[in-house]
Structures are given as structure tokens and as C-alpha cells.
């Protein structure tokens, strides 16, 4: 769960916060010093693999866990592993979403390499896999080959601008009729979507309810809250998880108005403000898109990640804001009914709904914090 930056100011005693901001100017002006540096360092490095990986680590991934580790011990190869300390056991008990995030990483790596004269051949799970849980075996082996004739992927041009926009969308601006066609860039999964106002209203209500279930299920909600990074110091110290930075959150954190304890307390103003803020996101969707696969194996999930990155980049190219809404896709008991309802609607003849997102026109948001590449290299 991510609190809407804009609405939280109005909701958590706005006048008090504004007054506090005036008296805590130096604190309010703090910004992360190191956590955003990787966005300015993409493409640097003498080794083609380093250059491609410096882009790959900007890929979208659940709860911004950045669960990738790479072994570069063999020249010309990248072996990708999952960092099992970065899993989400409550909201993602079978590591399906984490695997999709790793697929996003591999696709962005491939795209970057294609613009660097490198062809990348990716073999998912070369030593096999377990559909119940990711483990210590490699997620993928990628072989880089210099090739002057490799075709650059045009979607890569949007890599630095890509965002997951977790803010309310402009309900006065409908999306143009050709939007879904521009986003239909998936290569493996079945892409679908709707801009129909009646259907969008149904999806708003459905995603609102799924979000409510996640928040009101103690272990799934706490899993998110435990990953809150409140203020610059926390984000720089640990640039994965759910970041809250900028003037408002520096003041909220410093004054104790926003703590992990307070947002876990249903009676607190921080908790109530958070509910209103995240529901403002689901409730302002102007369209929805999704991906469905016939199978649900680990390779299927990796392929879904590649497709999902492509859809996100295509949305960026179209000027459309984009936010995944994964709650109803999560495989824990409390979410069983929405999960079944979602599949009955989008995959009535079988298959797995892998991803669901809202789209619309939203405000400009900052990039998410990232660990530097050197923190993700095991060897080489």
C-alpha cells in the first residue's frame, strides 16, 4: 500500500503540517542523496553487461523489493538469482509476483543491450524450478553476443520516464479511444483492457474491495507497512520497499505524526488518512488493462514480466499514467473470492490472470529509489 502524497497533506491535519513545514524548513527540504543516483547512472560502464544491468535495475517490481542478484563470473554471461530475503510471503506466497518482477528486469536488460549492439539469449531456469517457491537455483542465464545488426527495441526510449503513478488520476480527462491499441504490445500473454465507463466503474469498485481486504488482513497489511521507508535517511539507508520522501514526509516523520506504529493502528489519523488516500487511487481509474496466460509456470511468469514491462513503457510513450493493482491476484485465503471472481470474468475458459492495472492521466511523480548495481553483483 502506498499513501497518495498529494492527498495525505490535506488529510493528516493539513494546517498543522503546513505550519510545521514553515518552522522545519531545513528538514522539509531534504531529498534522498544516494537512492536516486542509479537513474542518472544508467548506461555507464566499460562492460556491456554492466551497461545493460544498470538499466535493468530500474525495472518495475512488487513493493520495490528489487529481488535481483547477478553473477558475472563467466565472461559474456549474466546469471540471475533471486534474493530470497526480498520475498513477500504473505501477499505473494508462491513468489509469482516476484518472478514477474524478475521477468521485467530481464526484458529491460535485453532492451538496453539491443541499443548497445548486443544480442542477449535468455534461458529461464536452466537448472529447473519449483512452482511453489523460488529457491537458490538460477532464475535465468543470459548470454551476450556482440552483433552489429541487432534490432534496437523502440520501447526502450521510455525507460527513464517509466513510472508506477500512485496518485489520483484526473477524472475530468477521459482517455482517447485508441489508447488500448497503443498499449497492446504484449508478445506472449493475452492483453485486454477497457475504457468503457460502466465497466471502469465496476472495476473501480472491485479493486477498491480487494484493496480493503488486503489492508484489513493483518499479516498482509503489516507486510507492506514493515517495508515503509519514511524520509530521506531511511530511503538512503535502505532504498527498497515503499518510499515516502519529500517535504511532507520529512516533516511527518520528524514530528512523529507518521510512524509504522501509527499507520498500523486503525484508530489513528495516519491510518484513516492512508485509507482515504489509497482508495482515491482505485476510485479515480479511467481505464483498466490486464494480462492473461494459458499456463502459470515459472517461465510463463518470466514471459509475463517481459510483456508487463512493455505495456508500461507503451503507456509512458502514450502519455498515460499506469499503476498495477495486484491485490485481487494474490493467492492467500482471505483473497480467495475476489481471485475467483476475477478469473471467472477475465479467464472464464481457463488460464491465469497475471497482472491488472489502472490507467488514466496523472501528475508527474519522482522515480523510485534503487540500490546501485554494485550492491547486486555476486561475482565479477
Query: For 283-295, how does the pLDDT look when each residue is reduced to its tens digit (9 = 90+)?
Result: 999 999 999 999 9
Q: Indicate whether 190 and 82 sit together in one domain.
A: no
Q: Indicate whether 59 and 193 sit together in one domain.
A: no
Q: Indicate whether 281 and 306 sit together in one domain.
A: yes
> Which of helix, strand or coil describes residue 290?
strand
Work out the average pLDDT over 335-359: 98
Structure-block grid coordinates of residue 306 = 517481459
Q: Where in 254-347 does DSSP place strands (E)?
A: 287-293, 321-324
Point out the domain boundary residue: 138, 160, 182.
160
Point out the domain boundary residue: 137, 160, 183.
160
CB 65 within 8 Å of CB 84: no
CATH number at residue 76: 3.40.109.10
Q: How confident is the model at residue 10 (pLDDT cuts 50, 70, 90)?
A: very low
Q: Residue 217's domain spans which residues?
A: 5-15+161-360
The pLDDT, as a whole number, for residue 248 is 80
The pLDDT, as a whole number, for residue 285 is 98
Point out the domain boundary residue: 160, 195, 217.
160
Structure-block grid coordinates of residue 37 = 543516483
Query: For 147-206, how does the pLDDT look when each residue is reduced to its tens digit (9 = 90+)?
Result: 989 999 999 999 999 999 999 999 999 999 999 999 999 999 999 999 999 999 999 999
Is residue 37's pLDDT more than 50?
yes
44 falls within a domain: yes
Q: How confident is the model at residue 30 (pLDDT cuts 50, 70, 90)?
A: low
166 falls within a domain: yes
CB 344 within 8 Å of CB 203: no
Question: What percent of the chain has a predicted confidence (pLDDT) above 90?
Answer: 85
The pLDDT, as a whole number, for residue 25 is 54
Is residue 8's pLDDT more than 50?
no
The pLDDT, as a whole number, for residue 343 is 98
Return the minimum-mean-pLDDT range out of 124-133, 136-145, 185-194, 245-254: 245-254
Return the minimum-mean-pLDDT range out of 82-96, 207-221, 254-268, 334-348: 254-268
Query: For 245-289, how does the pLDDT look when each residue is reduced to its tens digit (9 = 90+)?
Result: 888 888 888 888 899 999 999 999 889 888 998 999 999 999 999
Structure-block grid coordinates of residue 342 = 476475477
For the chain, the domain total comes to: 2
The full 3-state SS of 259-276, as one line of letters, equals CHHHHHCCCCHHHHHHHH
Amino acid at each position: 500500500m502506498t499513501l497518495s502524497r498529494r492527498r495525505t497533506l490535506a488529510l493528516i491535519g493539513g494546517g498543522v503540517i503546513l505550519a510545521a513545514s514553515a518552522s522545519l524548513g531545513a528538514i522539509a527540504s531534504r531529498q534522498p542523496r544516494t537512492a536516486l543516483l542509479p537513474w542518472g547512472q544508467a548506461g555507464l560502464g566499460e562492460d556491456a553487461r554492466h551497461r545493460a544491468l544498470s538499466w535493468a535495475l530500474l525495472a518495475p517490481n512488487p513493493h520495490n523489493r528489487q529481488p535481483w542478484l547477478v553473477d558475472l563470473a563467466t565472461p559474456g554471461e549474466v546469471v540471475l538469482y533471486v534474493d530470497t530475503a526480498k520475498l513477500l510471503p504473505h501477499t505473494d506466497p508462491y513468489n509469482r509476483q516476484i518472478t514477474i518482477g524478475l521477468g521485467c528486469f530481464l526484458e529491460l536488460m535485453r532492451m538496453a543491450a539491443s541499443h548497445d549492439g548486443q544480442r542477449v539469449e535468455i534461458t529461464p531456469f536452466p537448472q529447473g524450478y519449483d512452482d511453489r517457491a523460488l529457491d537458490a537455483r538460477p532464475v535465468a542465464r543470459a548470454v551476450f553476443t556482440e552483433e552489429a545488426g541487432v534490432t534496437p527495441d523502440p520501447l526502450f526510449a521510455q525507460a527513464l520516464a517509466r513510472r508506477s503513478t500512485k496518485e489520483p488520476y484526473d477524472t475530468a480527462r477521459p482517455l482517447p479511444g485508441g489508447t488500448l491499441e497503443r498499449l497492446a504490445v504484449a508478445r506472449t500473454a493475452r492483453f485486454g483492457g477497457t475504457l468503457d465507463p460502466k465497466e471502469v466503474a465496476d472495476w473501480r469498485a472491485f479493486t477498491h474491495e480487494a484493496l480493503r481486504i488486503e489492508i484489513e488482513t493483518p499479516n498482509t497489511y503489516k507486510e507492506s507497512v514493515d517495508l515503509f521507508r519514511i524520509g530521506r535517511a531511511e530511503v538512503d539507508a535502505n532504498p527498497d520497499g515503499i518510499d515516502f520522501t519529500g517535504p511532507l514526509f520529512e516533516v511527518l516523520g520528524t514530528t512523529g505524526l507518521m510512524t509504522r506504529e501509527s499507520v498500523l493502528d486503525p484508530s489513528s489519523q495516519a491510518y484513516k488518512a492512508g485509507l482515504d488516500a489509497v482508495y482515491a487511487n482505485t476510485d479515480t481509474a479511467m481505464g483498466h488493462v490486464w494480462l492473461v496466460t494459458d499456463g502459470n509456470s515459472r517461465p510463463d511468469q518470466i514471459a509475463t514480466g517481459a510483456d508487463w514491462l512493455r505495456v508500461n513503457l507503451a503507456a509512458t510513450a502514450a502519455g498515460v499514467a499506469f499503476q498495477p493493482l495486484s491485490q485481487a491476484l494474490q493467492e492467500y485465503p482471505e483473497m480467495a473470492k475476489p481471485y475467483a471472481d476475477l478469473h471467472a470474468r477475465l479467464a472464464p475458459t481457463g488460464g491465469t490472470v497475471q497482472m491488472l492495472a489502472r490507467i488514466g492521466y496523472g501528475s508527474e511523480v519522482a522515480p523510485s529509489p534503487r540500490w546501485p548495481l554494485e550492491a547486486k553483483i555476486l561475482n565479477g
